[in-house]
Chain A
């Protein structure tokens, strides 16, 4: 089944508040519930558009603003395979890696909303089937690949109990 890109109106500096409104910050919500409220203040029924394995695409400094781990958790719970952006906020980046939301860095000017995308994670190439162009994705460090394979740092630790083999 083909997978698609999802973009929102804003391109650069998308904040954690925009990803998930502040009222969902407490731990009383399950991840599946959080996923239904992603971008609810700025986009119409965003979560209904996203299918398992799709991609979210943004410009620079994605995830800036208040350090709220729920934003990364909620995006992951929508079923996205990865977020693709030009750059990320540092704290959001950490939160995403801990939560197991895959973040890729790449040129995103030539990806529109609902373009058909395909990722070769081994060769670090992103194919835009709708436009017939390919992009080079910044390779993920080895440690990060291991974290992602487990579903994030927390899941990695649940699995292995420690970072033993990584130090």
Chain B
């Protein structure tokens, strides 16, 4: 039987040999909710009426979207979540520990070959570790939490091949924006995506997380990469369980195959109010920006903060512009501090938020005014995403963000080529 990675993982977890469109019940290796979704997860969980959660090591709740809480209503939600996790002796990551995806990655609780479900749309991020990871609704998450299983419709798979070599100043985020701008969403919606190619091979594991996280914006069910040496090394170092790498059969069936050569690619920018509105930086250079945000599950990792600090070293953020940096986890925060990146950024005039989702959740830490333009390294720029429907959000890499913060308008980071070694 010729199978894709998703078909193999679902076969392994359901005990049946499955193909796309089959409906199966499969074991879930890890499940989690965040502070926007966990309240409803708790209600649904209680409705199912089981005595306990399926596994205390294989599940958690994370307070990350609005932390520390900006209002009474959200404080009450956080309290409800804390009470639930203490009642069931369930793992919780509290305010300030970081974005769910990042803290789970760092916890080592997932590994190659796993099925992970998260009540957060960017849960497909774990695909970078050869994991079938999906964002699900709150009832689905409650089902997984109660039983350690879920039902799945086996997805068709789309293959995306990324060839070539990225030029200096061009990063994983640019590649993904380019891909999103050039694929038909109808062909990727509800599908599993498998990523291949030299570009992926060259990327660090952290950069691969950017790719898999942004795959959510193609409405994909999951964005999986095969495990290579780097993945296995990563897993051996961090995972608490033995990795079980899964590769597709050479003649597996794909509903669509896209191939991109990204050697000539410029830094990419996504314009308001749809991530698919992608253009070369040359087309939007000079657009006035009021606020620059570096962070989120897409680009809040150490190498993202490093690039920003290299570009901003000895420079100043443009007058009137807010540069808001939100490390994705406490570990990243501390590492960035030790390496001196935060000192550089603060010296340049940046505001450093506590670890978490930061302004991307739209509830706090950088809500925009009417008519303001933001440049963000996050993965969503739909209307109102950052808390104001009358504001505009441009998306791009941390390098573009840093260059933009200095100029006060969208700027090309290749100007700082020498700093980007």
Contacts and interface: CB of A to CB of B under 8 A. Distances in A.
Contacts of A162: 147, 149
B146 interface: yes
Interface string A11-33: 00000000000000001000000
Contacts of B40: 27
A91 B138 CA distance: 11
A12 to B, nearest CB: 14
B50 A95 contact: no
Interface stretch (A38-46, A47-55, A74-82, A151-159): A151-159
B143 interface: yes
Interface in B116-158: 136-140, 143, 146-147, 149, 151, 153
Contacts of A98: 137, 139-140, 143
Contact of A157 (B23, B137, B147, B153): B147
Given A167-B15, A167-B25, A97 B151 contact: yes
A67 B151 CA distance: 18
Given A157-B48, A167-B15, A143 B23 contact: yes
A157 B54 CA distance: 13
B137 A143 contact: no
A102 to B, nearest CB: 14
B215 to A, nearest CB: 16
Interface in A67-106: 67, 69, 90-91, 93-95, 97-99
A60 B40 CA distance: 29
A154 B147 contact: no
B14 interface: yes
A60 to B, nearest CB: 12
B248 interface: no
A94 B27 CA distance: 17
Interface size class, chain B: 20 to 34
A114 interface: no
A146 B390 CA distance: 48
Given A98-B139, A167-B14, A154 B23 contact: no
A167 B139 contact: no
B189 interface: yes
A167 B137 contact: no
Contacts of B143: 98, 153-154, 157
Contacts of B149: 162-163, 167
Nearest to A91: B137
A162 B148 CA distance: 9
Given A142-B23, A163-B149, 13 more contacts: A67-B137, A69-B138, A95-B139, A98-B137, A98-B140, A141-B22, A143-B24, A153-B151, A157-B50, A157-B143, A158-B48, A167-B25, A167-B26
22 contacts: A27-B40, A27-B43, A67-B137, A69-B138, A90-B189, A90-B190, A94-B136, A95-B137, A95-B139, A98-B137, A98-B143, A141-B23, A153-B139, A153-B143, A154-B47, A154-B139, A157-B143, A157-B146, A157-B147, A158-B48, A167-B27, A167-B149
